C-alpha cells in the first residue's frame, strides 16, 4: 500500500521499514488490524520498539498511550511485572517438553471455576484457531454441517465460506470486498450470518435450515450491551433446534468480569471461546464447555504440538489470578465510564459533533455527521491529530488496567485540541485540507455492534 502522494511523513523510520515489509511479507503485516491504513498512514506509528504499562515507544522515538491495547490482547498492561516474572521462571524450567505439564490441569480447573459454561477445556493458541476448534466440536457432536454465525471469528475456511455464497456475503459483515480466495467452493452454504439483536431473523434461519444447524456461534457483544433478553432468547432458540450455542468471548472474556459476558448477563452457552483477553499478550486460547458437548472431542482429531506450551499456560493462569486479585474488570469499567464522561464533556464545551458511547469496557466515538465521506475524513483527522499528541488509537478504546489518571488527563487534553481543530475545519469547510494522510480504512464491518 503506497501513500496516494509523496507527502512528507512524521514517521520516516516506520515508513521505511514498512516499505521493506511490503517487499517481503504479502500484505505487509500478519494482522489486518495492524495494517497502517487502519490509522493515519504516514502520521501514526507502524512499528513499535518497546512497550510498558499503558504506553509504547515507536521506532521513530515517539511515545504513545496505547488505546488499542494490543488489539485487545493486553488486559493488565504491557510487560506486567507479575505475569512476566511467572513466565520468566517458567522459561528457566524449560519448554516444549515431550510429555505433558500439570499446568494444563491447573488452568483447566481455574477456567472451570470462572466461566459458567466450563466443565471441560481444550487449549489452542489463537482466537480464530479456537473458533475453528469449537465449530469442529459442535459439528462432531451434532453430526451436522451448517453453522449460523454473528460477528468476527477469524480467518479459517469454515467462516470465510460465508463469502462463497453471494446472498450471504461477508461483505456487509467483515471486510468490504473480501474474496474467499483459496476457500473450497464445496463449503458454499455451510456458514450463514445472522444479524445481532434480532431474534426473529435467527428463528427464521433456524426454521429454514431445520435439523441441519450444528452451531450458533456469536460474539455475545462487541461494544454495546444487547437488548434485554436477547441472549437468553438466542440460547432458547439454539436449544429448541439442538444446535450448539457457542459464545466467542475472544475479545470480551475477562474484560467483562471473571466469568465473561456470560457471567455478567446470566446466559450460559454450551461452548465458549477464549483467547485475547486471557493471557496479557502471550499467545493462548481455550475452548471451554459443557461436559456432554466437549467430551466427544476425545474422539475427534484435534491435536497440535504448541497447545501444551507452558508459557501460554503460565501467562493465562497468572493473568486470571491477577485479574481477580486486582479486580481488573471493575477497574476497567469505572475507568471507561470516566473516559466517556471526560470526552463527552470536552466535546460539549467545544461544540464538536461527536459522542462517546458504547459499553464502559469498550467506549467508541461517533462523529454525528450525515455525509459518510465527511464522517470518514473527520474520523481520520481525529486519529491523525491524536497521534501527533501521543495518543495511538482508532475512534474506539480498548482499555487495560495500566491506564490511569495520567492517561485520562493527557488524552482529554489531546482530545480538546483535536476537537477544536475538527470543529474549526468543519466550520470553514477545510477538513480535507487538514488531512496529512489518506483516509483511514475500517477493517471490519461487524455483524454485532
Ligand X SMILES: Cc1ncc(COP(=O)(O)O)c(C=O)c1O
Active site residues: 152, 248, 276
Task: Give CA–CA dist 15/252, Å, rounded.
Answer: 33
Applying CB under 6 A, does 226 fall inside the site for ligand X? no
Identify the residue among 267, 275, 288, 447 touching ligand X (CB under 6 A).
275
Q: Which stretch binds ligand X (CB under 6 A): 75-83, 96-104, 124-132, 293-301?
A: 124-132
Applying CB under 6 A, does 279 fall inside the site for ligand X? no
Identify the residue among 14, 44, 251, 359 touching ligand X (CB under 6 A).
251
Q: Which is nearer to ligand X, 35 or 276 (CB)?
A: 276
Residue 128 C-alpha cell reads as 480464530
Task: Give CA–CA dist 92/108, Å, rounded.
Answer: 23
Backbone angles phi, psi at 149, to 5 degrees: -135, 160
- Count of positions on this chain that bind ligand X (CB under 6 A): 14
Identify the residue among 80, 110, 197, 248 touching ligand X (CB under 6 A).
248
Residue 171 C-alpha cell reads as 461483505
Applying CB under 6 A, does 154 fall inside the site for ligand X? yes
Identify the residue among 131, 161, 315, 352 touching ligand X (CB under 6 A).
131
Greatest extent of the chain over all pairs of C-alpha atoms, in Å: 68
Applying CB under 6 A, does 153 fall inside the site for ligand X? yes
Q: Where are the beta strands (DSSP E) in 88-226?
A: 120-124, 146-150, 191-193, 213-218
Identify the residue among 28, 36, 53, 127 touching ligand X (CB under 6 A).
127
Backbone angles phi, psi at 32, to 5 degrees: -60, -35
Structure letter (DSSP) for residue 255: G
- The contact pattern for ligand X, residues 133-152, with x = CB under 6 A and - = no contact, is ------------------xx
Q: At its nearest, how many Å lie between ligand X and the CB of residue 116?
A: 19
Q: Which stretch binds ligand X (CB under 6 A): 51-59, 96-104, 108-116, 127-135?
A: 127-135
Residue nearest to ligand X (CB): 127
Instruction: Walk across the sheet containing 285-289 and list its strands.
Output: 120-124, 285-289, 271-274, 244-248, 213-218, 146-150, 191-193
Answer whether 130's CB lies under 8 Å from 286's CB. yes
Rounded to 10 deg, the angle between the 372-388 and 405-428 helix axes is 140
Q: Which is nearer to ligand X, 53 or 154 (CB)?
A: 154
**Residue numbers of the site for ligand X (CB under 6 A)?**
126-128, 131, 151-154, 219, 248, 250-251, 275-276
Amino acid at each position: 500500500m503506497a501513500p496516494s502522494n509523496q507527502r512528507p511523513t512524521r514517521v520516516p523510520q516506520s515508513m521505511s521499514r514498512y516499505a521493506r515489509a511490503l517487499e517481503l511479507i504479502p500484505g505487509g503485516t500478519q494482522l489486518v488490524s495492524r495494517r497502517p491504513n487502519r490509522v493515519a498512514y504516514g502520521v501514526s506509528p507502524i512499528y513499535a520498539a518497546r512497550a510498558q504499562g499503558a504506553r509504547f515507544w515507536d521506532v521513530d522515538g515517539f511515545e504513545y498511550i496505547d488505546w488499542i491495547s494490543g488489539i485487545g490482547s493486553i488486559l493488565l498492561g504491557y510487560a506486567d511485572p507479575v505475569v512476566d516474572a511467572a513466565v520468566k521462571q517458567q522459561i528457566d524450567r524449560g519448554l516444549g517438553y515431550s510429555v505433558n505439564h500439570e499446568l494444563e490441569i491447573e488452568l483447566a480447573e481455574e477456567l472451570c471455576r470462572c466461566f459458567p459454561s466450563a466443565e471441560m477445556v481444550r487449549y489452542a493458541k489463537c482466537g480464530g484457531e479456537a473458533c475453528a476448534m469449537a465449530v469442529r466440536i459442535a459439528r462432531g457432536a451434532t453430526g451436522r454441517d451448517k453453522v449460523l454465525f454473528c460477528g468476527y471469528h477469524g480467518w479459517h475456511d469454515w467462516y470465510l465460506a460465508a463469502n462463497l455464497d453471494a446472498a450471504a456475503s461477508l461483505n456487509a459483515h467483515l471486510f468490504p470486498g473480501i474474496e474467499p480466495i483459496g476457500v473450497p467452493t464445496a463449503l458454499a452454504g455451510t456458514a450463514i450470518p445472522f444479524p445481532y439483536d434480532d431474534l426473529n431473523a435467527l428463528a427464521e434461519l433456524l426454521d429454514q435450515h431445520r435439523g441441519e444447524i450444528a452451531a450458533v456461534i456469536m460474539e455475545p457483544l462487541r461494544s454495546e450491551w444487547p437488548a434485554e433478553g436477547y441472549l437468553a432468547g438466542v440460547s432458547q432458540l439454539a436449544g429448541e433446534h439442538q444446535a450448539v450455542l457457542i459464545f466467542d468471548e475472544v475479545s470480551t472474556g475477562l474484560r467483562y468480569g471473571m466469568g465473561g459476558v456470560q457471567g455478567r448477563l446470566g446466559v450460559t452457552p454450551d461452548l465458549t471461546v477464549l483467547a485475547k483477553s486471557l493471557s496479557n499478550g502471550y499467545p493462548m486460547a481455550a475452548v471451554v464447555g459443557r461436559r456432554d458437548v466437549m467430551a466427544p472431542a476425545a474422539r475427534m482429531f484435534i491435536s497440535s504440538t504448541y497447545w501444551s506450551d507452558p508459557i501460554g499456560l503460565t501467562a493465562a493462569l497468572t493473568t486470571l489470578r491477577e485479574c481477580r486479585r486486582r479486580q481488573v474488570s471493575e477497574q476497567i469499567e469505572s475507568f471507561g465510564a470516566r473516559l466517556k464522561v471526560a470526552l463527552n464533556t470536552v466535546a460539549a464545551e467545544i461544540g464538536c459533533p461527536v459522542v462517546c458511547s458504547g459499553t464502559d469496557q469498550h467506549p467508541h466515538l461517533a462523529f454525528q455527521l450525515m455525509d459518510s465521506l465527511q464522517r470518514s475524513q473527520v474520523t481520520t483527522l481525529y486519529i491523525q491529530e491524536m497521534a501527533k499528541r501521543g495518543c495511538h488509537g482508532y475512534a474506539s478504546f480498548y482499555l487495560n488496567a495500566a491506564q490511569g489518571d495520567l492517561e485520562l488527563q493527557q488524552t482529554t487534553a489531546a482530545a480538546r485540541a483535536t476537537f477544536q481543530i475538527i470543529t474549526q475545519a468543519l466550520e470553514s469547510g477545510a477538513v480535507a485540507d487538514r488531512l496529512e494522510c489518506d483516509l483511514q480504512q475500517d477493517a471490519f464491518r461487524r455483524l454485532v455492534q
